[in-house]
Amino acid sequence: MDVALLKGTASLYLIATGMFIIYVLLLKDFLSRAAPLILLAGFLLHTVALALQISQNGFPAVTELHEALSVYSWVIVGVYLLVQLKYRLTILGCFVAPLAFLMSLAGIAFGAGAGELPPGLKTYWLPVHVTLAFLGNAVFALAFAVSVMYLVQESRLKSKRTKALNQPLPPLERLDRLNYIFLVWGFPLMTLGILTGSLWAGVHWGDYWSWEPRQISSAITWLVYGSLLQGRVAAGWRGRRAAFLTILGFVVWFGYFLWGDALFPSRHAGRFE
């Protein structure tokens, strides 16, 4: 992947981070418009870098952690920009922009080159499975952010810190509603990501489910989100309980995404024999 383009992308994500923070502090309208635009510029540059990498190598580079971090940060920013168009939730950028910057920076620090793709991955299953899985987890990243904001806002309301209430956090009802919307979108995408991964494994390696650590962690996350969605629909779960379960699901998934493959070598960690 072109290092210069990635460095430019990371720089724009960093500038966007600063503008989102200043927006929270000063609450100026022009910052609420400018910060997402800077993030959009970073996203477009990131898109060019990824497109060039795919055109040069013939496949999306996602087999190494630094490659996956770069692609995942691109997906999160893209999903956020779509959410911003519909819901105008500028403060969500305070979570997305620094996360995208840190992930793209890690992608540069640990190497920007794409390695040789193992033979078992040279198939259309790779983009299908990765796209669905990353989209689902990007939506859950936003659900995690609105859940954290929900708990912060609830704490402020209970403590009656009037100065803090002037900060641009949305009302609790809106945050809880967004949590539900993200859950409704993210859960089917995650389910399809797991199903396509299992079908791919069955077609190419002969076993649909091999109890790999990554599969187990994905199943745990799927059960957490599935239970939460069922609880919200059937039992009226909402508010603090929904926020905590959303945070738990994302922590389990993201924690394994960062460190799981290093601790438990498996097919997802590069062992495709």
pLDDT score for 179: 96
Higher model confidence: residue 216 or residue 100?
Answer: 100
The residue-averaged pLDDT of 189-210 equals 88
The residue-averaged pLDDT of 110-122 equals 67
93/16 Cα distance (integer angstroms): 8
> pLDDT confidence of 251, banded at 50, 70, 90?
very high
The residue-averaged pLDDT of 63-69 equals 83
Highest average pLDDT, of 25-34, 95-104, 120-129, comes from 95-104
The residue-averaged pLDDT of 178-200 equals 94
Percent of the chain residues past pLDDT 90, beyond the cut: 53
